[in-house]
Amino acid sequence: MDDMRGVWQKQSAEDSAVSLEEVRRQARRFRGTIFWRNVREFLVLALLTAWFGLYAWKSPFPVMRAGNALTVAGLLYAAYQLHKRASAAAAPADMARKTCLGFHRAQLERQRDALRGVWRWYLGPMVPGLAVIAVAAGMAGFERSWSAGLVVVLFAIAGAVLYFGLGRLNQGAARQLQRQIDLLDELEKETR
Amino acid sequence: MEETESIAARSAGQEELYRGAAAAFGASLGRLARAYEADAGARRDLLQEIHLALWRSFESFDARCSLRTWVYRVAHNAATSHVGRQRRRRAVMLESLEDLEAVPDRGEGRCAPDERQALDRLLALIQQLKPLDREVILSYLEGMDAASTAEITGISAGNVANKIHRIEQILARRFHEGERHG
């Protein structure tokens, strides 16, 4: 079989060169991508916080002010979690410290846990604030007229359905990832 | 000031490690990229991804394993992630060594191939394989022993030896039958 190894190792190396400058450029570009992703996330968070914060400050209704303040707290918590999880995902040396199966299992587990816990760390923290806002808006609507109150209730129901639908989609994606992890486990059992 | 100096020293160390690894394993990494990606354009991207992953990994090289094991683990992990993304796009099915052993040769080996043909067929065979089997066959072709392959892949040396035995049988069947028939 040494001849096959010879054929393999004799391959031309002309297209396998990557210059140091190219790698440096790629590394700069990678750092730039991460920087701008963080800036984007921060801007979205800043805009949402400003929006809800403004209502928390300016709204004439105390219940509405409380709902907006709670939503701001939920947004800040979700942003902190997002930042923490993104930092954990970007540990470059993991690629070397883990074997191929271990690395991919860890990647899948991390994604699965993020999706499974989406109510705890992403969607959930905003629920109390949004629920209080919906109640306050409903109360204000019904004070004006029945029809205005009903419109607010319908909007709140549609919002809640969408919100819970998003949660269910995440749970479904987590189950799919679990199936992939189970397949990897079977593969690992077969190979040990 | 001290922190700036420490960052600069780490950065110089990272570059030195990368340079050393690229000089020692650059050609092997090129072959590894060929084994994972058939398309020339995508292969160039893969090779750059591997080198970038290697560069980034050296931010925190801890010498708990040899440089070779470190380099190959990073390269295989980066390449397997690449193949995973490509598979989702192209819907490619991968096979295990056991599957390939069971499949009869489709006749390509009926004439003695020249080196170019042999290499093309070898690459096609490797690109069909599941990640772990691909790691083992590449380590074998690069001339590593079972213990080194076991360190890179994380499976036992006995299991590596068993897989290498299968690889040798498959290669013998596919690449030497032709010489006997021809």
CB contacts, 8 Å: A92 with chain B: 53, 56-57, 59-60
Put simply, the answer to whether A92 touches B31 (Cβ < 8 Å) is no
Q: Of the residues B65, B90, B115, which one is the last residue of a structural domain?
A: B90
Q: Say yes or no: B113 and B176 in one domain.
A: yes
More confident of the two residues A32 and B4: A32
* Residue A3 within a domain: no
User: What is the amino acid identity at position A139?
Assistant: M
pLDDT at B182: 40
Q: Binning pLDDT at 50, 70 and 90, where does residue A2 land? A: low
Give residue for tokens 């980066």. Answer: B78
Q: Lowest mean pLDDT: which of A35-39, B10-14, B170-174?
A: B10-14
Considering the domain boundaries, does residue A141 fall inside one?
Answer: yes
CB contacts, 8 Å: B30 with chain A:
11, 13, 15-17
CB B57 within 8 A of CB B74: yes
Do B9 and B86 reside in the same domain of the chain? Answer: yes
Under 8 Å CB pairs connecting chains A and B tally to 136
How does DSSP assign B44-100, residue by residue? HHHHHHHHHHHHHHGGG---SS-HHHHHHHHHHHHHHHHHHHHHHHH----B-HHHH
The tens digit of pLDDT for each residue in B92-146 reads: 566 677 776 666 555 444 444 577 788 888 888 888 888 888 889 999 999 898 8
pLDDT at B2: 59
| Nearest-neighbour CA in chain B from A6: distance (Å) | 8
**AA letter at A118:** V
Give ipTM to 2 decimals. Answer: 0.75
Residues B79 and B109 in one domain: no
Number of structural domains, chain A? 1
* Tens-place pLDDT, residues A50-63: 999 999 999 888 99
Check: CB of residue A192 under 8 Å from CB of residue B155: yes
pLDDT at A96: 67
Residue contact A10–B115, C-beta within 8 A? yes
Average pLDDT estimate for B9-32: 86
DSSP of chain A, one letter per residue?
-HHHHHHHHTS--GGG---HHHHHHHHHHHHHHHHHHHHHHHHHHHHHHHHHHHHHHH-S-HHHHHHHHHHHHHHHHHHHHHHHHHHHHT-TTHHHHS-HHHHHHHHHHHHHHHHHTHIIIIIGGGHHHHHHHHHHHHHHHHHH-HHHHHHHHHHHHHHHHHHHHHHHHHHHHHHHHHHHHHHHHHHHHHH-
* Predicted local confidence at residue A23, as pLDDT: 85
Which CATH number belongs to the domain containing residue B139 in this structure? 1.10.10
Cβ <8 Å between B48 and A97: no
More confident residue, B31 or A101: B31
Distance between CA atoms of residues A38 and A36, nearest Å = 5
Q: Do B107 and B176 sit in the same domain of this protein?
A: yes
Query: Which carries the bigger pLDDT value, residue B154 or residue A49?
Result: A49
- Residues B69, B124 share a domain: no
Nearest CB to B122: which of A4, A15, A96? A4
What confidence score (pLDDT) does residue A73 get?
A: 95
Same structural domain, B55 and B126: no
Task: Please check the confidence at residue B74 and state whether its pLDDT lies above 50.
Answer: yes
Residue A50 domain-assigned? Answer: no
Over residues A180-188, the mean pLDDT reads 73
Which member of A8, A17, A99 has the closest CB to residue B73? A99
Supply the mean pLDDT for chain B: 79
Give the percent of chain B with pLDDT over 70: 76
State yes or no: pLDDT of B26 exceeds 80.
yes
Interface contact B80-A98, CB threshold 8 A: no
Q: Are residues B84 and B101 in the same domain?
A: no
* A156 touches A134 (CB < 8 A): yes
Q: Are residues B104 and B50 in the same domain?
A: no
The more confident residue out of A99 and B69 is B69
Task: Nearest by CB to B132, from A1, A18, A187: name it.
Answer: A187
Contacts of A177 (CB under 8 A, 6+ apart): A108, A111, A112, A115
Interface test with B, best of A2, A4, A103 (most B CBs within 10 A): A4
Whether residue A11 is contained in a domain is answered as no
What domain range includes position A144?
65-192
Cβ separation of B143 and A100 shorter than 8 Å?
Answer: no
* Boundary (domain end) residue, out of B90, B116, B149: B90
Same domain for B40 and B57, yes or no, is yes
pLDDT digits (tens, 9 = 90+) for A31-46: 788 788 778 877 888 8
pLDDT digits (tens, 9 = 90+) for B42-60: 889 899 999 998 988 888 7
pLDDT at B163 over 60: yes
Give A172→chain B minimum CA distance, Å.
Answer: 18
Q: List phi, psi (to 5°) of B129.
A: -80, 155
Which of B39, B44, B73, B139 should we substitute to test contact with A (largest number of A Cβ atoms within 10 Å)? B73
Last residue of a domain, one of B71, B90, B109: B90
Percentage, residues of chain B above pLDDT 90: 13
Whether residues B61 and B42 share a domain: the answer is yes
The structural domain count of chain B equals: 2
Residue numbers of the domain that contains B49:
2-90
Segment A101-123, tens digit of pLDDT:
677 778 788 888 888 888 888 88
Cβ contact A74:A127 at 8 Å: yes
Tokens of B20: 């050393």
Residues B8 and B79 in one domain: yes
The alpha carbon of residue B26 is apart from the nearest alpha carbon of chain A, in Å, by 7
Same domain, B169 and B101: yes
pLDDT higher than 60, residue A148: yes
Whether residue B48 and residue A22 make contact (CB cut-off 8 A), yes or no, is: yes
* Position A19 confidence tier, pLDDT thresholds 50, 70, 90: confident
Distance CA B37, CA B34 (A): 5
Tokens, residue A38: 């963080």
Task: Using an 8 Å CB-CB cutoff, list residues of chain A that contact chain B.
Answer: 1, 4-5, 7-11, 13, 15-18, 20, 22-23, 26-27, 30, 92-93, 95-104, 187, 191-192
